[in-house]
Amino acid sequence: MFGSRQTESRSSYADLIIGVAILALISLAIAWATHKPHGISGTGAISLSYAKLPLDAAYSWSRMAIAYLISLAFTMVYAYSAAYNPRAEKILIPLLDILQSVPILSFLPVVLLAFINLFPGSHLGVNLASIVLIFTGQVWNMVFALYNGLITIPRDLRETALSLQLTPWQRFRTLELPFAMGGLVWNSMMSWAGGWFFLMAAEMFSLGHHQYQLQGLGSYLQTAANQGRWGKEFLGLASLVAVIVVMDQLIWRPLLAWSDKFKMEMVEGEAQFHSVVLVVLRRSRLIEWAQTALLLPMVEAIDHFFGIGIPRWRRQSRWLTSAAGLVRTLVTAGIIFALFTALEGGIRLAASLNLHTLLVICLATGATLLRVLVSLAISVAWTVPVGVWIGLNPRFAKSLTPISQIAASVPATALFPGLVALLFVLGGGLMLASVLLMVLGTQWYILFNVIAGASAIPEDLKEAARMFGLKGSHIWRTLILPAIFPYLITGLITAGGGAWNASIVAEYVSFRGHIYTTFGVGGLIAHDSNSGHFAALLVATSILSLTVVVINRMVWRPLYRQATERYSLS
């Protein structure tokens, strides 16, 4: 009797907390909708007032959240298509290799001009361009994470799902997405960290002689650094850290604790993450009612639609199937026409360049490639042992994971001008600083994937290793490295793309009215984008993309195939 009253009291407190949170979100949405923005776009100066910092944080977080939701929807469609359609995979995966490596400033001219022309004279176009640029920094590693999860599902689980005659949607909901959930959550955290890293480039940018600025934390940090107002810079970073900590406690920690139940193991181990927020949500009768009254009927309706309605609909309406085929044909033709048109325009632009410029771009690509390889080697050297240690030690993971999130999310570009100045004094120069910034921007992709891989090792396999007395190099060769290998390759692919992307801020630095550059394709792309040299920008981006495709075909694809065929838990 007493226990039931205590449970009811806890549920009441949980409902009260949930209700207050919902009311707070509604109030925030109303305030956001009715607030008249000041100085959001255009060429006006960015305010460094302390009172504007909460609003700056809200603006930046909103852009990040919208970009993440778009990235998540894109990930579900793209990764599923690549994993289960062999013909589509041959196109989608190489395309993904290119897109994740193209620096965001290469997307800038097309994206910015398109949205400004769609919404002339409105701040909405610049905001949408910023969201799309953040999207390009978030989405690719999420796609790789889900794709890796889908293609490494054990064969016996697939055969069980087929024997139960589950529809593709039911398999995705009950098997495929849960199996890939751990890696997807970890890479979602990394996507937000990547978004914060490029936030300054996505909120303050120039195109030709036009300057575009958006009020937000990225613009605040960039303006404070350019003006040398380090007190403002420190306060802006403190605000960013506060946002990251709040997100860790309210979003990521509950998701990690929730996704822990999807680990595939026969021996139950210690829970790696504990979340007070998740406990409150589970005790809330309001949430329980929403699941019973809203979520379950919605899931059943979707199951019915994809599992029952579609086959009958297709059998009874063949003309609709033909119409759908016609629409796909027209869309494909339209895409091909647009690609040929763009290719023709690109060839005309490239033809305007002389041979010397092309040679310089090729040599610059080689210089950046060398920096990318060095940064990956440095990153792997420390992230693999540290990531495995965090992933295998739940007690330390609970405290170190938020710290790693904060370190990954703080934009190194905000500290980079001061770091460059220090290295110039010490004699290192921008050549050393550019490698250091690439490391700061890429190491977290590897670390988070290694942590996800180590934490996903089934408890029964770890118990078997202990029973056989495996220690030291033996346990690394027989258990740890094979288990984390698919995750490590995913991390290396996304880290390589991140390194190429980071080259635009590592090789071209604007600080207090001075431009500091080092020879590399990232510096050329940043210079050509800012100066409006679209022909050189197009050729540099194309050569960079071709280099990435060759490397992925010769190195990463064979390793990825080996990871899925030899080291998957099947």
Residue 515, classed as helix, strand or coil, is: strand
The span from the CA of 51 to the CA of 499, in Å, is 35
Asked, for residue 8, whether it belongs to a domain, the answer is no
Is the Cβ–Cβ distance between 404 and 447 less than 8 Å? Answer: yes
Is the Cβ–Cβ distance between 536 and 514 less than 8 Å? Answer: no
What residue spans of 119-176 are helical by DSSP H?
123-151, 155-163, 168-171
Enter the tokens of residue 542.
Answer: 């194309």
The DSSP secondary-structure symbol of 275 reads -
Asked, for residue 2, whether it belongs to a domain, the answer is no
The predicted structure's pLDDT at residue 371: 92
The span from the CA of 554 to the CA of 546, in Å, is 12
The predicted structure's pLDDT at residue 350: 62
CB crowding 199-233: b at 16 or more within 10 Å, else e: bbbbbbbbbeeeebbbbbbbbbbbbbbbeeeeebb
Asked, for residue 301, whether it belongs to a domain, the answer is no
SS3 string, 375-415, reads HHHHHHHHHHHHHHHHHHCHHHHHHHHHHHHHHHHCCHHHH
Enter the tokens of residue 96.
Answer: 């993904």
Q: How many separate helices (H) and strands (E) can be counted in the chain?
A: 27, 4
The predicted structure's pLDDT at residue 34: 44
Asked, for residue 270, whether it belongs to a domain, the answer is yes
Is the Cβ–Cβ distance between 204 and 414 less than 8 Å? Answer: no
CATH at 230: 1.10.3720.10
The predicted structure's pLDDT at residue 69: 93
The predicted structure's pLDDT at residue 496: 85
The low-confidence residues of the chain, meaning pLDDT below 50, are: 1-5, 7-8, 30, 32-44, 309-317, 319-321
Q: How far is CA 27 from CA 13, 33, 51, 57, in A?
A: 21, 10, 20, 17
The span from the CA of 136 to the CA of 107, in Å, is 8
The span from the CA of 221 to the CA of 411, in Å, is 9
Q: What total of structural domains would you count in the chain?
A: 1
Work out the angle between the directed axes of helices 53-84 and 86-101 (0-180°, nearest 10).
Answer: 150
**Domain membership of residue 278 as a residue range:** 41-283+353-566
The span from the CA of 495 to the CA of 372, in Å, is 9
The span from the CA of 390 to the CA of 272, in Å, is 10
Asked, for residue 12, whether it belongs to a domain, the answer is no
The predicted structure's pLDDT at residue 380: 93
The predicted structure's pLDDT at residue 23: 57
CB-neighbour burial class of residue 399 (10 A; exposed 0-12, middle 13-18, buried 19+) = exposed
Which of 346, 509, 347, 374 shows the shortest CA–CA distance to 435?
A: 374
Q: Is 234 left (phi over 0), alpha (psi -120 to 50) or beta?
A: alpha
Which of 73, 63, 72 shows the shortest CA–CA distance to 128?
A: 63
Q: Is 153 left (phi over 0), alpha (psi -120 to 50) or beta?
A: beta
pTM over 0.85: no
Give residue 44's identity as a one-letter amino acid code: G
End-to-end CA distance of the chain: 48
The span from the CA of 420 to the CA of 437, in Å, is 10
Residues 6+ apart with CB under 8 A from 245: 402, 406
**471 phi and psi angles, rounded to 5 deg:** -145, 165
The predicted structure's pLDDT at residue 104: 65
The span from the CA of 311 to the CA of 168, in Å, is 12
What residue spans of 198-317 are helical by DSSP H?
199-203, 217-227, 230-247, 253-259, 276-283, 285-290, 296-304, 310-316
The span from the CA of 334 to the CA of 340, in Å, is 10
Asked, for residue 241, whether it belongs to a domain, the answer is yes
Q: Is 39 left (phi over 0), alpha (psi -120 to 50) or beta?
A: left
Asked, for residue 364, whether it belongs to a domain, the answer is yes
Residue 6, classed as helix, strand or coil, is: helix
Is the Cβ–Cβ distance between 223 and 48 less than 8 Å? Answer: yes
Tracing tokens 């770091």 back to the chain, one arrives at 419
Asked, for residue 317, whether it belongs to a domain, the answer is no
| Strand 210-213 with 204-207, pairing | antiparallel
